[in-house]
Amino acid sequence: MYLQHFGLHEPPFTLTPDTGFFFNHGSHQEALNVLLVALQGGEGFIKVTGEVGTGKTLLCRKLLNLLNEDCVSAYIPNPFLNPTALRMALADELDITYARNTGQHRLLQLITERLVTLGAEGKQVVLLLDEAQAMPDETLEALRLLTNLETEKHKLLQVVLFGQPELDTRLRQRKLRQLRQRIVFSYRLSPLDRHSIGAYVQHRLQIAGYRGTTMFGPRVLRKLHRDSRGIPRLINLLCHKSLMAAYGTGCTRIRAVHLRRAALDSEDIMRHKPRWPTFLSGLVGLLALTSAGWLYAFSL
Domains detected in the chain: 3-9+196-299 (no CATH), 26-188 (3.40.50.300)
Q: Is the Cβ–Cβ distance between 183 and 46 less than 8 Å? A: yes
Q: Can you give the pLDDT of all 300 residues of the chain as single tens digits?
A: 799 999 999 999 999 999 999 998 889 999 999 999 999 888 789 999 999 999 999 999 999 999 988 999 999 999 999 999 999 999 999 999 999 889 999 999 999 999 999 999 999 999 999 999 999 999 999 999 998 887 767 789 999 999 999 999 999 999 999 999 999 999 999 999 999 999 999 999 999 999 999 999 999 999 999 999 999 999 999 999 999 999 999 999 999 999 999 999 888 886 554 444 443 445 555 555 555 454 444 444
Backbone angles phi, psi at 228, to 5 degrees: -90, -15
What local confidence, expressed as pLDDT, does residue 43 receive? 73
The SS3 assignment for 284 reads: helix
CA 285 remoteness from chain centre? 31
Could you report how far apart the first and last alpha carbons of the chain are, in Å?
16
Q: Is the Cβ–Cβ distance between 259 and 219 less than 8 Å? A: no
What local confidence, expressed as pLDDT, does residue 152 receive? 65
H or E, element range at 159: strand 158-163
Q: Is the Cβ–Cβ distance between 170 and 176 less than 8 Å? A: yes
Q: Please give the DSSP secondary-structure letter assigned to residue 192.
A: P
Q: Is the Cβ–Cβ distance between 23 and 235 less than 8 Å? A: no
Task: Find the angle CA(163)-CA(167)-CA(171) to the nearest 5 degrees.
Answer: 140
